[in-house]
């Protein structure tokens, strides 16, 4: 049985993005199945039972199911042939895990004020709050520190590159200025074929779901 990745129906989840890119980078054969979060489909008893957390993404590998993007990425790296998703060197791998965990747990004001709907459905020009400005400054500081002017974090590409680029996309795609070195990093990563496969997907009209982001005005 082929791998199945369960995704949000709008294809805007940064965590779905991570797993989708990872599968592409591995050259894996897989299919996708949408879960209509706007209809509460993640709470369907069968999906909730299999995924445990009733969230997307979820990966089905035969009779084995796994949810939570970080766990899925490590599972793919340990079970599939192809290029590594995380660095081979222990310290680089630790740094990649640190960045990926941080991007999933911090910068809340930025995620709230520039949600992923503003990356794929509509631009937002609303002023940033003081808290969001602080989150932007922290993102820029950390990104500049770890990249040191490069367009890739380590000697070889890693999943942390894509995840960092996605977070920077909340700025770049909403015309929030970033330093030239970070824009160069974003442009290189955003042009990667695995990333383009996610970005260029056809998307259904956005329907908000409980707890989901509102839709920003259409892009000009």
Q: Is the pLDDT of residue 215 over 90?
A: no
106 shares its domain with 64: no
Q: How far apart are alpha carbons 1 and 201 in whole angstroms? A: 24
Whether residue 210 is contained in a domain is answered as no
Question: Average pLDDT of 40-68?
Answer: 93
Instruction: Please count the residues of the chain.
Output: 220
Q: pLDDT by residue (tens digit) across 75-130?
A: 999 999 999 999 999 999 999 999 999 999 999 999 999 999 999 999 999 999 99
Q: Is the pLDDT of residue 7 over 80?
A: yes
Number of domains in the chain: 2
Whether residue 206 is contained in a domain is answered as no
Q: pLDDT by residue (tens digit) across 22-33?
A: 999 999 999 999
Whether residue 214 is contained in a domain is answered as no
Question: Average pLDDT of 207-215?
Answer: 67
Mean pLDDT for the chain?
A: 93
pTM reported for the whole predicted model: 0.93
Q: How far apart are alpha carbons 197 and 5 in whole angstroms? A: 14
Q: Which domain holds residue 35?
A: 3-79
Question: Average pLDDT of 44-66?
Answer: 93
68 shares its domain with 22: yes
146 shares its domain with 166: yes
Q: Give me the CATH number covering residue 7.
A: 3.40.30.10
126 shares its domain with 167: yes
Which spans in the chain are helix H?
A: 14-26, 45-51, 69-79, 90-105, 108-113, 117-120, 130-147, 159-172, 180-190, 193-199
The answer to whether 57 touches 69, Cβ cutoff 8 Å, is: yes
Query: How is residue 68 written in tokens?
Result: 């939570």
Whether residue 197 is contained in a domain is answered as no
188 shares its domain with 113: yes
């Amino acid at each position: 049985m082929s791998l199945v990745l369960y995704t949000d129906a709008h294809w805007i989840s940064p965590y779905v993005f991570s797993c989708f890119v990872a599968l592409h980078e591995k050259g894996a054969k897989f299919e996708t199945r949408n879960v209509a979060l706007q209809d509460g489909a993640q709470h369907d008893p069968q999906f909730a039972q299999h995924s445990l957390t009733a969230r997307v993404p979820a990966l089905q590998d035969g009779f084995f199911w796994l949810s939570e993007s970080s766990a899925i990425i490590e599972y793919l790296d340990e079970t599939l042939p192809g290029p590594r998703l995380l660095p081979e060197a222990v310290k680089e791998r630790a740094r990649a895990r640190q960045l990926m965990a941080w991007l999933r747990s911090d910068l809340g004001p930025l995620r709230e004020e520039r949600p992923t709907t503003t990356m794929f459905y509509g631009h937002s020009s609303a002023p940033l709050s003081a808290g969001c400005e602080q989150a932007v400054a922290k993102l820029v500081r950390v990104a500049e520190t770890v990249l040191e002017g490069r367009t890739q974090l380590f000697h070889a590409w890693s999943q942390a590159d894509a995840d960092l680029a996605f977070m920077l996309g909340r700025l770049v795609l909403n015309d929030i200025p970033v330093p030239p070195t970070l824009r160069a990093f974003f442009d290189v990563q955003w042009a990667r074929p695995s990333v383009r496969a996610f970005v260029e997907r056809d998307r259904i009209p956005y329907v908000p779901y409980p707890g989901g982001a509102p839709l920003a005005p259409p892009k000009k």
